[in-house]
Amino acid sequence: MTVAGGPYARRVDELADLDERQRAAVTAPHGVPLAILAPAGSGKTRVLTRRIAHLVGTETIAARHTLAVTFTRKAAGELVSRLGALGAGEVTAGTFHALCLAQLRRRQADRGRELPGLLERKGRVLGPLLGARGAAQIAAINEVAGEIEWAKARGVTPQQFAAAAHAADRELPRPAAELAALYERYETDKRRRGLIDFDDLLWWCAESIERDPDFATSVRFRHRHLFVDEFQDVSPAQFRVLRLWLGDRPDLCVVGDEAQAIYGFAGAESSVLVNFAKHFPGGQTVRLATNYRSTPQVVAVADAVLGAAAGVVRPRPLAVRDGGPAPTVRGFDDADAEAKGVAVAVRAAHDRGIPWRRIAVLYRTNAQSAAFEAAFARLGVPHRLPGVGTFLARPEVKATLDALARTERAAPGRALADHLADLVAGQRTDGDVDRPDDSPDDQDDPGSGTPFTERRAHLDALVHFGDEYLAAEGGEGSLSGFVAWLTTATRGEADPTSSDAVELVTFHRAKGLEWDAVFVTGLEQGLVPISFARTPEARAEEQRLLHVALSRAIEELHVTWAAERTVAGRQRARKPSAWLDIIERVAAGEEPPPSDPRAGLAAVRQTLGTKRSAAGTTVVAPADKPLFDALTAWRLGEARAHELPAYVVCDNKTLGAIAADRPTTRTSLLEVPGIGPVKLDRYGEAILDIVRQHAPR
Give the CA diameter of the chain.
Answer: 98
Q: What is the pLDDT of residues 132-146, one digit of tens each?
A: 677 677 778 888 998
CB-side neighbour CA atoms (13 Å) of 26: 28
pLDDT at 601: 37
pLDDT at 623: 82
pTM: 0.73
pLDDT at 522: 96
Beta bridge partners of 363: 506
How would DSSP label each residue in 148-195? Answer: HHHHHHTT--GGGHHHHHHHTT---SS-HHHHHHHHHHHHHHHHHTTE
Residues whose CB is less than 8 angstroms from the CB of residue 124 and which lie 6 or more positions away in sequence, other chains included: none
Distance of CA 3 to the CA centre of its chain: 46
What does the buried/exposed string (b/e) look like for 468-498 if buried means 16 or more CB atoms within 10 Å of the residue's CB?
A: ebbeeeeeebebeebeebbeebbbbebeeee
Q: Are strands 564-567 and 570-573 parallel, antiparallel or unpaired?
A: antiparallel
Q: Are strands 34-37 and 564-567 parallel, antiparallel or unpaired?
A: unpaired
Q: Is the dihedral of CA 342, 348, 352, 354 positive or negative?
A: positive
Name the stretches of the chain with pLDDT < 50: 1-12, 388, 428-450, 492-498, 596-617
pLDDT at 495: 36
- What type of residue is 525? Q
pLDDT at 594: 58
Q: In what order do the strands lie in the sheet with 252-256?
A: 92-95, 66-70, 225-228, 252-256, 34-37, 284-287
| DSSP label at residue 494 | S
Which candidate, 534, 529, 544, 536, places its Cα nearest to that of 577?
Answer: 529
Beta bridge partners of 287: 37
Q: What is the pLDDT of residues 375-409, one digit of tens each?
A: 999 999 999 987 545 677 777 788 888 888 888 88
Distance of CA 185 to the CA centre of its chain: 32
Residues whose CB is less than 8 angstroms from the CB of residue 36 and which lie 6 or more positions away in sequence, other chains included: 25, 44, 47, 48, 51, 253, 254, 255, 256, 285, 286, 287, 288
Which candidate, 673, 660, 668, 591, places its Cα nearest to that of 619?
Answer: 660
54 with 23: CB under 8 angstroms? no
